[in-house]
Amino acid sequence: MIFGTVIHAEHTAKAIMMAKSIKKHMPIGKVIIGVMEETMPNAAFGCPYFDEVVLMKDTDAYSNMKKFFFQYTLQEAQRACKALLVNYIYKKYTNEIAIHYLDADTWVISPFEELADGFNQHPITLIGKVIDPEFLDLDWLTDVRKNGIYDSSFMSFKRHAVTESFLKCWLKLSENNCYYDRAIHNFIDQGWLDQSHTLFDGVFSLRDAGYQVSHSNLMERWDISKTAPYTYSIGNRPLRSIRISNDFELAISWIEHEKGQLYGELIEEYRNEWIEIERYTAASSTWSYSHFTSGEMIADQTRGKFRMHYYDNSEVENPFLLSNGYFHSEAFSTDVMDQPTPYYADEPDRIKHRNFTVKKRRARRKLRKPIRKKRRRSY
């Protein structure tokens, strides 16, 4: 059994918390961490809970990883890199049958025993954001339609031909289609994930309230009880994992006081461990791919324009050497750590203007000491 997650440097402590909880309850499980940075965070070196730490740029999933990262904001890149990491694990650890992807804010409470049974029949296991029809009213149904059916924070894969087909398609999609779409107020790849059970045989929806309890599904997972010291259950199901966040702490204030206290115990335990780990893993809050080589912050508008012409820019080897001015964009970015942000404003009219149209002729960025004058691509 092998587990993987994708992080940036600032979330190293979260990954350590997740890995530590996995090793506690499933000690034979391996933990692989994918880091979306140019250099490895110091805290990731020598961590006893990590079996491997790999820079996502070194997975060589695509021919030009700089172009891949340039087009995405932080949140978009985290979604896109899930496919890269799972594919990397699948190809490298060929002796492993079960691969589980978890977001780094997941905290494991007890062993994932149910997944062993599921793998006997299903190559892919996902968890729905809503699993109990009794709680699905019309208002929540509207949210599900908007936000998606499946929770991408948890996915399990069995070594199987169907999994290989799934990963091939997922990897292709992630190269250029994991962006946030303002029109639908969601990430564009969510629709593909929601249709996966119609596209691939053997996709199984795990309807177990004990997995991935979070603020967004607490409405149907509020019935927590303590059956023994350090042992909890949701209804009649063992509590397996929760996702700790500020929103989660706010959400428990709306449920029954006794139930909220039990969740509060878990939050307090998590916080105490977190503080101790965070003390030794402080990392820069600036993402490596948030700025140009010059130090100028990359505008969301710039990323969007580059993404739209992603396959038309073969002559641009390293877009980080350019600037917002090159793309005729304002030097402004709305990308905020830990918060999905709206994408840049649509420009259906301006994009047709000759100054924003990508020319078909060959163009290169003007170098400091060019051998000869090159024609320049306009965005």
At 133 the pLDDT is 82
**Residue 182 has what pLDDT?**
77
* Residue 24 identity (one-letter amino acid): K
Cα gap 101→104, rounded to integer Å: 9
Cα separation of 294 and 71, whole Å?
Answer: 17
- DSSP 8-state class, residue 195: T
β-strands 98-102, 52-55 pairing: unpaired
CA distance 350 to 356: 7
Per-residue pLDDT of the chain (379 residues; tens, 9 = 90+): 899 999 999 999 999 999 999 999 999 999 999 999 999 988 888 899 999 999 999 998 999 999 999 999 999 999 999 999 999 999 999 999 999 999 999 999 999 998 876 666 899 999 998 888 887 777 767 777 778 889 999 999 999 999 999 999 999 999 999 998 877 777 888 888 999 999 999 999 999 999 999 998 998 899 999 988 889 999 889 999 999 888 898 899 889 999 999 999 999 999 999 888 888 777 667 899 999 999 999 999 999 999 999 998 788 899 999 999 999 886 555 553 333 333 233 333 333 333 333 333 333 333 334 444 444 455 5
What three-state secondary structure class fits 114?
A: helix
Cα dihedral 127, 234, 16, 147 sign: positive
- pTM listed for this prediction: 0.84
> For the packed helices 161-174 and 74-92, what is the interaxial angle rounded to 10 degrees?
150
Task: Name the CA dihedral angle for 285, 288, 289, 295, rounded to a multiple of 10 degrees.
Answer: 90
Kind and range of the H or E run holding 2: strand 2-7
- Please say whether the beta carbons of 324 and 331 come within 8 A: yes
The residue among 326, 309, 230, 280 whose CA lies nearest residue 43 is 280
Other C-beta atoms lying within 10 Å of the C-beta of residue 64: 15
Spatial neighbors of 89 by CB under 8 A, at least 6 apart, are 2, 4, 32, 96, 99
Distance between terminal CA atoms of the chain? 47
Angle 115-148-174 (CA atoms, 0-180°, nearest 5)?
Answer: 80
Name 231's bridge partners: 228
Judge contact between 19 and 36, C-beta under 8 A: no
Query: Would you say 53 and 47 are in contact if contact means Cβ atoms under 8 Å apart?
Result: yes
C-alpha 318/C-alpha 188 separation (Å) is 25
User: Do 204 and 124 meet the contact criterion of CB atoms below 8 Å apart?
Assistant: yes
| CB of 84 closer than 8 Å to CB of 178 | no
With both helix axes pointing from N to C terminus, report the angle between 12-25 and 257-278 in degrees, rounded to the nearest 10.
110
User: What is the spatial distance between Cα 191 and Cα 152, in angstroms, rounded to a whole number?
Assistant: 11
List the structure tokens of 52.
């491997």
Q: Which value, to the nearest 10 degrees, does the dihedral of the CA atoms of residues 312, 344, 176, 85 take?
A: 140
